Structure 1
Amino acid sequence: MNLQSNGIINVYSIAILIIIGFHSFKNNEKGSCRYKLYLMMLQVTILMLIVDIFSRFDGMSNAVYPIFNYIGNLLIFILNPILPSLWLLYVHYQVFPEDKKTKLIYLLLTINIINLAMVVLTQFFGWYYYIDSQNIYHRGPLFYISFSFTVVLIVSAFATIVINRKIIAKKYYYSLVFFAIPPFIGVVLQIIIYGISIMLNSVVLSLLIVFLNIQNHSMNIDYLTGVNNRRKLDEYMEKKVFSSSSSKTFSAIMIDLNNFKCINDNFGHDMGDVALQISAKILNSCVRSNDFIARYGGDEFYIVLETHNINDLEIIVDRIKAAVEIFNESSNQPYSLGFSMGYAVYDYNAHMTVEEFQKYIDELMYENKQSNIEKRIKLGTA
């Protein structure tokens, strides 16, 4: 691939990444680790695409071109493991959002430091590569070690996704799995076919796929709690009702936070927001990854479950009640959480619409709420 064609492809790739970066600033998750890591991947890829153009002055005779070739290859080999390291961290925080694994960061830092040391020594011993007096790049005897860092990191990220597929929501799983495929193919082709350079351009394709997934995620997610929003709930419920049959149906739970107004009035709206976030975490901890949780509005949540057995549904309701009790016993928050819940299995033979089914569950939730109020009045805690 000559300098001109490589430069054109890289410039187009950079333009795509700049557009992605511009639109990423509108994302609701700007403060999250995942967003920061994604932005860092964009920045590192843009830098590597620019540097890659410099490394294409290979074999050209000019007073300046050997300097470009030297700087380009030096930086490319230094930056090579940084991009897959960021991707592995991104995958980790996508799979385990609450886990701040410093050991993984130290391990990745160690790998990059070792690679940096090898690149520096390569300038004297030609381990990874060397550039001869004719300004021609040659692979060194340890060239494959350099690319092995990249391959191992990509495979590690892929393995993390596959091993933990049961706890990854389906809407994220396929885009995460797909991310590794284009760069992996690009790396293999770059190793096998001398002179070809498509690995970075394949990364751009992967970053575009993840960006589209992030955009779709932002449109359907409640920014405060991180669960699905009302819009996504309505779409999901329509699909569930449409796909139901006499042998395959679903169930739903409507949850209302007790005394939420009192939390806001007594402790402030910031504390009320925290209560909503805690509630979402409690609900997430009580259901499976393929179950659906949404913020219905205000202080109300909705859970749609892949079960058509009332006994299984009641077990989940009891699990939620137990989780709330555990939180109240162990929490240092100045308030206690309480849920009022209405729940039911969708009766296919009744042919209820989404609105009718939601109204039915809402009525059950209201009955439970009134019952909870009466209990608190009797106990003198209302």
Structure 2
Amino acid sequence: MGIRIVVSSFAGNWREGISIQTLAFLEIDFFALAVLLLIYLNIRHSSGQYIEQKIFMILILADAIILILDMGMWLLDGKTGFLIREIYILVTAFYYVFNPLICMIWYFYVDYKIYKSANRLKRVMIPMLVPAAVNAALSLASIFSGYMFYFDAENIYYRGSLFPLMAVISLFYLVYAMILIVAKKNLLEKREFFIMLVFGIPPLVGGVVQSLVYGLSLVWICATFSALIIFINMQNNQLYTDHLTGLFNRRQLDSYLRQNSQAMEDRMLAGVMIDLNAFKQINDQYGHNIGDQALQHTAEILTKTFRERDFIARYGGDEFLVLMTVHDCKVLKAAVQRLRENVKRFNEQSETPYQISLSIGYDCRSVESEQDVNDFLKHIDQLMYEDKQRRQPA
């Protein structure tokens, strides 16, 4: 692994010191581990989506393990001494086992991020484990056979004849995840689509380069960089997204109103204020977990109903707000009608112990109107209240 320059002496039978190349990669691996530790410490107590966060934590752990194994390989290569060869063989075997595993975990993260379904994740898990299991079996068998890797008499590591198989399996998971992201981009917000697509690029490029250029160790450093991108996105989501429903929160509403104030003056603004009826009764009768579920189902119905470019937020408690720019108020009326139809369809098909019922206030503000945005929000809130009153039994 490069020209060895002795920079220190070792006790025992270690014949050579650490080369400059080895030191450089050790420093890079150590820096990547420090980044992963900081990410872990920042998200371990956060209140994001539980399954999504758990998969991401496993991804970070797997990346950390493989970086430690990579450091071990750099330290042990070409060294001799008591049990050094045996330890090096085991470290290398597990390094090969973990290579596709971290790529597989990334695929699971993508699958859950897109479909938000734990049941689907369970269904795809077994078939997706097969390539990784084949690689693990061959990697462990290489301890005796040298299929994936082997060592010469000087205890120097070499790739085996089946090394390309491990690389192909790892790339399979990364490429398949990218294909899934592109194919299902309509199920992702635009910002999340680009961030998740970008995630796979650094380890994909690093993996290809590392496979072609012997002696480089890039892929998992690149994976750490990608994990940092996802972490930053998660932090932004926690700042501007309601953690329960996944919709925007009041903070993002304020930001949206500031950034689009001029556009709202130049185009017709449409707004919908929505209240989940009988929310307190659902909480009291079935418990807060079921109440939270009712809010989540309502958010899903709203996301399904309105356009991707429309602004949908949890306004507070059991209230939601949708803001749209339209050329004709008929667009708003059609959207409200879709909303009512989707609520009806949900109640017909769902097996929940409650029915979703919404009070809705909606209107359009013309370009010529002198009403400011805050007054407009109060206006549709009053319309929603009046609709709620009409639904009350006499």
Fold shared, TM-score > 0.5 on shorter chain: yes
1:72 match: 91
Q: Which residue of 1 aligns with 2:73?
A: 55
Change (3 A) 1:340 1:368: same
Give 2:15's aligned residue. none
What is the DSSP-based 3-state SS (H/G/I as helix, E as strand, rest coil) of the residue aligned with 2:119? coil
8 Å contact 2:90–2:143 — kept in the other structure?
no
- Give the structure 2 partner of residue 44 of structure 1: 62
Given that residues 342 and 364 in structure 1 are in contact (C-alpha distance below 8 angstroms), is that contact kept between their aligned partners in structure 2?
Answer: yes
Deviates more, 1:235-244 or 1:199-208: 235-244
CA distance in 2: counterparts of 1:155 and 1:18, whole angstroms? 27
Shift in CA distance, 306/181, structure 1 to aligned 2, threshold 3 Å = farther
Which of these residues, 15, 19, 33, is aligned with residue 14 of structure 1? Answer: 33
Aligned to 1:179: 199
Counterpart of 1:294, as a letter, is A
Q: Are the aligned partners of 2:240 and 2:248 in contact in 1 as well (CA < 8 Å)? A: yes
CA RMSD across the alignment: 2.2
Choose the corresponding residue for 2:214, options 194, 199, 224.
Answer: 194
The size of the alignment, in residue pairs, is 373
Amino acid at match of 1:140: G
The reply on whether 1:359 has 2:392 as its aligned counterpart is: no
Cα shift at 1:245: 6.0
SS at match of 1:253: strand
Contact 1:251 1:344 in 2 (8 A): yes
1:59 deviates by: 1.9
Inter-partner Cα distance in structure 1 for 2:321 and 2:256: 11
Amino acid of the structure 2 residue aligned with 1:178: V
Shift, 1:83, TM fit: 0.3
Deviations 1:204-233 (A, max 9, x none): 100001001011111122233232211112
Q: Work out whether 1:293 is the aligned partner of 2:312.
A: yes
Structure 1: unaligned runs, 5 residues or longer: 378-382
1:311-369 CA deviation, whole Å, 9 max, x = no partner?
22111111111222233344454543321111223423325433122122222222322
Rounded Cα–Cα distance in structure 2 between residues aligned with 1:161 and 1:330: 28
Gaps of 5+ in 2: 3-20
Moved more, 209-218 or 55-64: 55-64
**Counterpart position of 2:247:** 227
CA distance in 2, matches of 1:138, 1:161: 36
Determine helix, strand or coil for the equivalent of 2:153.
coil
Question: How has the CA–CA distance of structure 1 residues 337 and 205 changed in structure 2, closer, same or farther, with 3 Å as cutoff?
Answer: same
Instruction: Kindly state the Cα deviation for residue 257 of structure 1 after the two structures are TM-superposed.
Output: 2.0
Task: After TM superposition, give the deviation of residue 26 of structure 1 in Å.
Answer: 3.0
Amino acid at match of 1:14: L
Q: For 1:149 and 1:332, how far apart are their aligned partners in 2?
A: 41
Give the whole-Å Cα distance in 2 for the aligned partners of 1:309 and 1:253. 15
Q: Deviations over 1:77-123 (max 9, x none)?
A: 01111001000010011111036323421122111111012113323
Mapped contact 1:54–1:68 kept (Cα < 8 A): no
Amino acid at match of 1:106: I
User: Hey, what does 1:216 align to over in structure 2?
Assistant: 236
What's the CA shift for 1:3?
Answer: 2.5
Give structure 1 regions of 4+ aligned residues with deviation exceeding 6 angstroms. Answer: none
Alignment partner of 1:28: what SS? Answer: coil
Question: Cα deviation per residue 1:181-223 (whole Å; 9 max; x = unaligned)?
Answer: 1101111111121101011111110000100101111112223
- 8 Å Cα contact 2:181/2:193 also seen in 1: yes
The residue type equivalent to 1:59 in the other structure is G
TM-score normalised to structure 2 length: 0.88
Q: Distance in 2 between the 1:270 and 1:303 partners? A: 25
Which residue number in structure 2 is paired with residue 97 of structure 1? 116
Aligned partners of 1:310, 1:99: CA distance in 2, in Å? 39
Determine if contact 1:238/1:354 at 8 Å carries over to the other structure. no
The reply to whether residue 169 of structure 1 matches residue 159 of structure 2 is: no
**Amino acid aligned to 2:356:** L
| Other structure's SS at 1:225 match | coil
1:271-282 alignment runs, 5 A limit? 271-282=290-301
Of 92, 102, 106, 2:126 maps to: 106
Find the residue that maps to 2:161 and give its secondary structure. coil
Kindly state the Cα deviation for residue 65 of structure 1 after the two structures are TM-superposed: 3.6
**What percentage of residue pairs aligned between the two structures are identical?**
32
AA aligned to 1:50 is I
Q: What TM-score comes out, normalization by structure 1 length?
A: 0.90
Match 1:207 to one of 227, 233, 252: 227
SS at match of 1:159: helix
Against the structure 1 CA distance between its residues 127 and 267, is the aligned structure 2 distance closer, same or farther, given a 3 Å change threshold?
A: closer
